[in-house]
């Protein structure tokens, strides 16, 4: 065999190894027909899997994909990120608009029960629930370096995810694509949409059929949002006319980083704080409850419990969150979801321990 032939053979071997590596680590998927806690086979299509979003396959993002129950070949495809950063996509799938809900019943040590959500968005849309950034939910990194991420990297990796996923699922390439999320995802999603738009403009394949993005209660800017809390509380009827007008006058409409020498403004803000101290600020119509695995921004809150067995009341949203903790950490559930053994030792709904830097 000539030297040129040997070189060709070696190159071919490396190419084939690359293809094998690509097929194993870039997109790994499985169809889930049964879930522990749900009675009988799932009446909808559920796929779970991992997509590698880094050069050396060290970052593995986990996803849940649910097909539309109407017309999956034509209905929109929504890529959904929960907030945090670090909150699992299971939050949206099982507590917000996904096809399943936890049955709220007193926890007795058995596996929590799942039931169908009659108002699921998956009745009319295909939805990709993504555990992003790395370290969220069942997503993980094979290396310490890969576990480090930022706003910029998170957006880039989510963009890489949807490109690779659609390459592996070309039947959805023509579906209208939307990027959606809540809370801290308000920082990430517009950047993902911009990456997609830029990629389409320069002809990057596959061409993504982006139609828009949607945000619920999104994070935009820290000081701007904090400053808006006082007028919001007033407009929701939590403050009297007299107190609001006094604060507006004495603080000049600025309620953040107030000069301590402005005694009247400080006094008004203290009164406002006392008026709203027992209010659940994320949702004023819900009771103020202790939090199970809180969002990172709430890590110093007095309402926090970090994990079970502390039990919130039935009337609390966090009671369902507690059930999800027991469910997602059950070995049978992990096996059904095809979670890779040894990759995530403890599932946490909102992981405040991810190695994350906000660089927006």
Taking only the tens place, the pLDDT of each residue in 157-168 is 999 999 999 999
Average pLDDT, the chain: 86
Question: Do 317 and 95 meet the contact criterion of CB atoms below 8 Å apart?
Answer: yes
Lowest mean pLDDT among 110-124, 156-170, 279-293: 279-293
Higher pLDDT: 273 or 10? It is 273
Q: What is the mean pLDDT of residues 235-239?
A: 92
Q: What is the mean pLDDT of residues 52-78?
A: 94
The total of other beta-carbon atoms located within 10 Å of residue 168's CB is 15
Q: Where in the chain is the domain with CATH 3.40.50.1820?
A: 25-217
Query: Tokens 């030792």, residue?
Result: 345
What percent of the residues of the chain are helix, what percent strand, and what percent coil, each to the nearest 5?
40, 15, 45
∠ CA 223-291-189, rounded to 5°: 45
- The predicted structure's pLDDT at residue 313: 66
CA 243 from centroid of its chain's CA atoms: 38
Give yes or no for residue 6 having a pLDDT over 60: no
**Tokens (6 digits) for 336:** 């059904």
Find the helix or strand (DSSP H, E) in which 180 lies.
strand 177-182
Q: What is the mean pLDDT of residues 86-96?
A: 95
Give yes or no for residue 123 having a pLDDT over 70: yes
Q: What is the mean pLDDT of residues 182-189?
A: 92
- What are the tens digits of pLDDT across the range 298-346? 444 434 344 454 566 666 777 888 889 999 999 999 999 999 999 999 9
Query: Tokens 């709430």, residue?
Result: 298
Provide the angle, in degrees to the nearest 10, between the axes of the packed helices 241-251 and 263-276.
Answer: 140
Q: What is the mean pLDDT of residues 288-295?
A: 59
CA distance 143 to 140: 9
- The predicted structure's pLDDT at residue 15: 39
Which three-class secondary structure state does DSSP give residue 212? strand
Q: What is the mean pLDDT of residues 183-211?
A: 95
Q: Does the domain spanning 25-217 belong to CATH 3.90.1150.10?
A: no
Instruction: Of 239, 300, 302, give the one whose Cα is nearest residue 274.
Output: 239
**% pLDDT > 70, the chain:** 85
Question: Do 35 and 336 meet the contact criterion of CB atoms below 8 Å apart?
Answer: yes
- The predicted structure's pLDDT at residue 68: 98
Q: What is the mean pLDDT of residues 134-141?
A: 96
Residues 6+ apart with CB under 8 A from 186: 83, 215, 217, 218, 219, 220
Give yes or no for residue 102 having a pLDDT over 90: yes
**% pLDDT > 90, the chain:** 67
């Amino acid at each position: 065999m000539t030297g040129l032939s040997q070189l060709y053979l070696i190159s071919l071997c490396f190419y084939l190894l690359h293809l094998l590596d690509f097929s194993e680590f870039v997109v790994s998927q499985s169809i889930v027909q049964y879930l522990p806690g749900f009675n009988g086979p799932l009446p909808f299509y559920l796929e779970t899997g991992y997509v590698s979003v880094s050069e050396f396959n060290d970052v593995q993002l986990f996803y849940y994909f649910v097909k539309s129950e109407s017309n999956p070949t034509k209905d929109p495809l929504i890529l959904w990120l929960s907030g945090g950063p670090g909150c699992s996509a299971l939050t949206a799938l099982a507590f917000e608009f996904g096809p399943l809900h936890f049955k709220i019943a007193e926890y007795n040590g058995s596996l929590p029960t799942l039931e169908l959500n009659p108002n699921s968005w998956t009745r009319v849309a295909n939805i990709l629930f993504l555990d992003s950034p790395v370290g969220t939910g069942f997503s993980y990194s094979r290396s310490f370096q890969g576990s480090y991420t930022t706003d910029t990297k998170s957006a880039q990796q989510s963009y890489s995810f949807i490109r690779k996923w659609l390459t592996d699922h070309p039947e959805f390439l023509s579906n209208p694509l939307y990027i959606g999320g809540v809370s801290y995802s308000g920082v990430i999603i517009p950047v993902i949409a911009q990456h997609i738009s830029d990629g389409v403009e320069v002809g990057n394949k596959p061409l993504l059929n982006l139609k828009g993005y949607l945000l619920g209660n999104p994070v935009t800017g820290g000081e701007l949002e904090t400053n808006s809390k006082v007028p919001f509380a007033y407009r929701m009827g939590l403050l009297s006319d007299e107190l609001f007008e006094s604060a507006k006058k004495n603080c000049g409409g600025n309620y953040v980083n107030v000069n301590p020498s402005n005694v009247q403004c400080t006094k008004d803000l203290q009164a406002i704080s006392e008026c709203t101290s027992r209010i659940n600020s994320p949702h004023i119509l819900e009771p103020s409850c202790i939090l199970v695995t809180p969002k990172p921004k709430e890590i110093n809150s007095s309402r926090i419990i970090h994990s079970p067995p502390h039990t919130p009341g039935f009337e609390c949203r966090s009671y369902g969150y507690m059930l999800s903790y027991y469910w997602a950490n059950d070995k049978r559930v992990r096996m059904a979801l095809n979670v890779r053994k040894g990759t995530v030792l403890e599932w946490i709904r909102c992981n405040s321990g991810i190695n994350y830097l906000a660089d927006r």
